Amino acid sequence: MTLYDHPDCPYGMKVRIVLAEKDMDYDLITVDLQSGQHRQPEFLKLNPFGRVPVLIDEGCVIYESTIINEYLDDEYPEPQLRPAASDERSRVRLLEDYADTAFTLPAMAVQIELAKPVGVREENRVRAARDVVLKGLEMVNRELEGREFLGGEFSLADVAFAPIVLQLEKLGIHPDNSLKNVRAWVQRLAARRGIASMPRLVA
């Protein structure tokens, strides 16, 4: 099994968390995004959209992090990271999709702006993106009411949010006491073996 990835990609982190939770061995190939390696013909043969992560397992090439994680959960079901009941499984999938499209992207926008020098940084963009992330955390706080994890048990929904919620401090986002469910959940996430093994997330 081979994973093509970049260390700072939150979508790649999702896949690495699942691989760690399932205690799976794999070869990691780092794709140099800064030099444009993901746009080279050799990589585009693996993923025509030119994005990481890409997983190759016994000749099967899979890209898009959520699809990769569902594949891993199908092929290597221990521990199972999706609920058995179809209604709960659909709920987990909806939360994954929200994390991918409406939560991670504005958080990445904050990261991009914070990496710029202060004089160049667009502070209005930072504030707007942080507000979107906070609204997402409010939704997650409601979803966690009466639950330890988003799927009841630890699931792919929690995995989808983990790369961002474990780096909120670095983004300058500080959940207050109104988000008590989120704050307790973040501590539970950080204690997971598959997440604790990733220094970039918990350092």
| Beta carbons of 151 and 73 less than 8 angstroms apart | no
The rounded distance, in Å, linking the Cα atoms of 202 and 133 is 19
Could you list the active site residues? 9
Give Dmax (Cα) for the chain: 52
* 180-191 helix and 123-143 helix, angle to the nearest 10 degrees: 90
- Measured between its terminal Cα atoms, the distance across the chain in Å is 27
User: Burial letters for 176-202: b for 16+ Cβ neighbours within 10 Å, e otherwise?
Assistant: eeebebbbebbeebeebebbeebeebe
